[in-house]
Amino acid sequence: MPLLTVTTNMEIYPDHQEQILIKLSAFVAQLLGKPESYVMVQLQSGQPMLMGGTNEPCAHLRLKSLGLPEDSTEGLSTALCDAITGQLRIPANRIYIEFANPARHMWGWDKGTFG
């Protein structure tokens, strides 16, 4: 159910990518209180990106999850920024985050939906 997509202009080497994905997967499961068996994490590195007119390290995150607590997005933002800053050393002011809480029937898995 939870999907975290991290897109960054930083080039991350493949051996480091797997370590980052493993840490972020466990982090998202813990953060949202969901089983890690349902968590998906995607890392897109080396993407052409500018933020504030510069190509200094930056990231765009998308966190989508059924039942995402919309009244908790500020805390989620803090936690995600801290995680990305810790893993990729991207400053929090160079990170944008999109949150999405789709309707259960709009999220497909295993030949069906969660609705």
Q: Which residues are catalytic?
A: 2
Give the Å distances, CA to CA, from 104 to 36, 64, 66, 70, 77. 18, 12, 6, 15, 23
For CA atoms 87, 76, 21, 58, the dihedral sign is negative
Q: Burial of 28 by CB count in 10 Å (0-12 exposed, 13-18 middle, 19+ buried)?
A: buried
